[in-house]
Amino acid sequence: QAELVESGGGSVQAGESLRLSCARSDAGDGNNCIAWFRQAPGQERRAVATLYLPTGDPTIFLDSVRGRFTISQDSAKNTVYLQMNNLRPDDTALYSCAAVRVIIARCYYGAESYKVWGQGTQVTVSS
Protein backbone atom coordinates (compact mmCIF):
# COMPACT_ATOMS: atom_id res chain seq x y z
CA GLN A 1 0.00 0.00 0.00
CA ALA A 2 1.24 3.44 -0.92
CA GLU A 3 2.59 5.54 1.90
CA LEU A 4 3.43 9.20 2.27
CA VAL A 5 5.95 10.53 4.73
CA GLU A 6 6.20 14.25 5.48
CA SER A 7 9.21 15.99 6.91
CA GLY A 8 10.66 19.45 7.22
CA GLY A 9 8.37 21.04 9.78
CA GLY A 10 9.61 22.95 12.77
CA SER A 11 9.49 26.13 14.80
CA VAL A 12 10.64 29.32 13.12
CA GLN A 13 10.38 33.07 13.46
CA ALA A 14 8.13 35.15 11.28
CA GLY A 15 9.80 35.93 7.99
CA GLU A 16 11.82 32.73 7.87
CA SER A 17 11.40 29.83 5.45
CA LEU A 18 10.79 26.11 5.61
CA ARG A 19 10.63 23.43 2.96
CA LEU A 20 8.29 20.55 3.61
CA SER A 21 8.84 17.23 1.88
CA CYS A 22 6.31 14.55 1.02
CA ALA A 23 8.06 11.32 0.12
CA ARG A 24 6.08 8.67 -1.73
CA SER A 25 6.96 5.07 -0.98
CA ASP A 26 5.82 3.86 -4.39
CA ALA A 27 5.86 6.07 -7.46
CA GLY A 28 3.96 3.36 -9.32
CA ASP A 29 0.99 3.41 -6.95
CA GLY A 30 -1.22 4.99 -9.60
CA ASN A 31 -1.77 8.24 -7.75
CA ASN A 32 -1.19 11.28 -9.93
CA CYS A 33 -2.12 14.17 -7.65
CA ILE A 34 -0.42 15.27 -4.47
CA ALA A 35 -1.97 17.89 -2.23
CA TRP A 36 -0.75 19.75 0.80
CA PHE A 37 -3.36 20.49 3.46
CA ARG A 38 -3.06 22.33 6.71
CA GLN A 39 -5.11 22.39 9.87
CA ALA A 40 -4.71 24.85 12.69
CA PRO A 41 -6.15 24.14 16.16
CA GLY A 42 -9.89 24.68 16.18
CA GLN A 43 -10.05 25.17 12.44
CA GLU A 44 -11.03 22.95 9.55
CA ARG A 45 -8.46 21.34 7.33
CA ARG A 46 -7.86 23.38 4.20
CA ALA A 47 -6.13 22.68 0.93
CA VAL A 48 -2.98 24.74 0.49
CA ALA A 49 -1.69 23.56 -2.88
CA THR A 50 -1.87 20.65 -5.29
CA LEU A 51 0.41 19.26 -7.93
CA TYR A 52 -0.63 17.22 -10.94
CA LEU A 53 2.35 14.89 -11.17
CA PRO A 54 2.42 13.95 -14.87
CA THR A 55 2.83 17.57 -15.94
CA GLY A 56 4.02 19.24 -12.76
CA ASP A 57 1.16 21.73 -12.96
CA PRO A 58 0.73 23.43 -9.58
CA THR A 59 -2.34 25.03 -8.07
CA ILE A 60 -2.28 27.29 -5.04
CA PHE A 61 -5.64 27.41 -3.29
CA LEU A 62 -5.05 29.67 -0.34
CA ASP A 63 -4.91 33.36 -1.20
CA SER A 64 -2.96 34.04 1.98
CA VAL A 65 0.00 31.95 0.79
CA ARG A 66 0.00 32.97 -2.85
CA GLY A 67 3.35 34.47 -3.72
CA ARG A 68 4.98 32.95 -0.63
CA PHE A 69 4.46 29.19 -1.05
CA THR A 70 5.34 27.05 -4.03
CA ILE A 71 4.75 23.36 -4.69
CA SER A 72 7.10 21.29 -6.81
CA GLN A 73 8.40 17.78 -7.31
CA ASP A 74 11.60 15.85 -7.73
CA SER A 75 10.51 12.85 -9.74
CA ALA A 76 13.81 11.06 -9.27
CA LYS A 77 13.28 11.17 -5.51
CA ASN A 78 9.51 10.52 -5.64
CA THR A 79 9.12 13.59 -3.49
CA VAL A 80 6.85 16.62 -3.58
CA TYR A 81 7.92 19.79 -1.83
CA LEU A 82 6.13 22.75 -0.33
CA GLN A 83 8.50 25.69 -0.16
CA MET A 84 7.23 28.20 2.34
CA ASN A 85 8.83 31.63 2.42
CA ASN A 86 8.18 34.69 4.53
CA LEU A 87 6.27 32.63 7.06
CA ARG A 88 3.71 34.31 9.28
CA PRO A 89 2.19 33.30 12.63
CA ASP A 90 -1.09 32.49 10.90
CA ASP A 91 0.73 29.81 8.90
CA THR A 92 1.04 27.80 12.11
CA ALA A 93 -0.67 24.46 11.54
CA LEU A 94 -0.25 20.75 11.07
CA TYR A 95 0.66 20.24 7.42
CA SER A 96 -0.24 16.96 5.74
CA CYS A 97 0.22 15.66 2.24
CA ALA A 98 -2.25 13.42 0.50
CA ALA A 99 -2.47 11.55 -2.78
CA VAL A 100 -5.17 10.45 -5.18
CA ARG A 101 -5.61 9.30 -8.72
CA VAL A 102 -7.66 11.64 -10.89
CA ILE A 103 -9.10 10.94 -14.31
CA ILE A 104 -8.88 14.46 -15.70
CA ALA A 105 -5.78 16.62 -15.35
CA ARG A 106 -7.02 18.56 -12.36
CA CYS A 107 -6.42 17.78 -8.72
CA TYR A 108 -9.23 17.83 -6.21
CA TYR A 109 -9.68 20.53 -3.63
CA GLY A 110 -11.59 18.62 -0.99
CA ALA A 111 -9.81 16.49 1.57
CA GLU A 112 -12.52 13.83 1.33
CA SER A 113 -11.36 13.01 -2.19
CA TYR A 114 -7.87 11.97 -1.14
CA LYS A 115 -7.23 8.32 -0.35
CA VAL A 116 -3.70 8.24 1.01
CA TRP A 117 -2.43 10.50 3.77
CA GLY A 118 0.81 11.11 5.55
CA GLN A 119 1.09 11.55 9.30
CA GLY A 120 1.61 15.30 9.13
CA THR A 121 4.38 17.65 10.14
CA GLN A 122 3.93 20.57 12.53
CA VAL A 123 4.85 24.09 11.51
CA THR A 124 4.94 26.74 14.21
CA VAL A 125 5.69 30.36 13.40
CA SER A 126 6.28 32.85 16.17
CA SER A 127 6.22 36.62 15.89
pLDDT at 2: 78
pLDDT at 74: 96
Per-10-residue mean pLDDT of the chain, 127 residues long, equals: 92 98 90 97 96 96 96 96 98 98 93 95 98
pLDDT at 29: 85
CA distances from 88 to 9, 33, 80, 83, 93 (A): 14, 27, 22, 14, 11
pLDDT at 16: 98
